[in-house]
């Protein structure tokens, strides 16, 4: 994977992005993102995510790759859930490594709770709107 930032489509509330936009639900193991180095424009990603059903005042934000590394998150290519095959091709999920997930399971700590406590605030703080996307 390149050194390019990763993209996420989020709801912007009065020009601000809140940590809740980076939280996992209890049935999720990774945060949905898109590689910015795949040749798919941010506007195309935004349109595809909107077509897949996400609602609200949506913007695309970028997060430096180093933030994911600092948080101990791995980027795993996964099938995207949009109607656009090109957008789905650049879809990844940010996940804790399997060893850390096992450690959490042995301690009966819900992985999504730990992700939401540790990663969501840091990702929100590092997120910057993509140029021209200052909704």
Per-residue pLDDT reduced to its tens digit, 31-49:
999 999 989 999 999 999 9
Predicted TM-score (pTM) of the model is 0.89
Dihedral class, residue 96 (left if φ above 0, else alpha if ψ from -120 to 50, else beta): beta
Helix (H, G, I), strand (E, B) or coil at 76: strand
Mean pLDDT of the chain: 90
Q: Where are the domains of the chain?
A: 6-128
pLDDT of res. 101: 75
Read off the pLDDT of residues 81-124 as tens digits, 9 standing for 90 and up: 999 999 999 999 999 888 877 887 888 888 888 889 999 999 99
pLDDT computed for residue 106 by the predictor:
85
Report the alpha-carbon distance of residue 114 to residue 119 in Å, rounded: 8
Place of tokens 């941010």: 42
Q: Which residues pair with 74 in a beta bridge?
A: 95
């Amino acid at each position: 994977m390149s050194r390019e930032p990763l993209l996420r489509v989020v709801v912007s509330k009065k020009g601000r992005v809140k940590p809740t936009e980076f939280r996992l639900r209890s049935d999720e193991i990774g945060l949905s993102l898109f590689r910015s180095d795949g040749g798919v424009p941010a506007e195309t990603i935004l349109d595809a995510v909107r077509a897949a059903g996400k609602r609200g005042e949506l913007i695309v934000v970028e997060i430096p790759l180093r933030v994911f590394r600092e948080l101990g998150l791995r980027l795993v290519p996964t099938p995207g859930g949009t109607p656009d095959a090109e957008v789905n091709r650049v879809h990844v999920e940010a996940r804790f490594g399997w060893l850390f997930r096992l450690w959490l399971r042995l301690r009966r700590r819900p992985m999504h709770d730990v992700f939401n406590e540790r990663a969501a605030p840091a990702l929100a703080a590092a997120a910057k709107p993509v140029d021209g996307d200052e909704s």
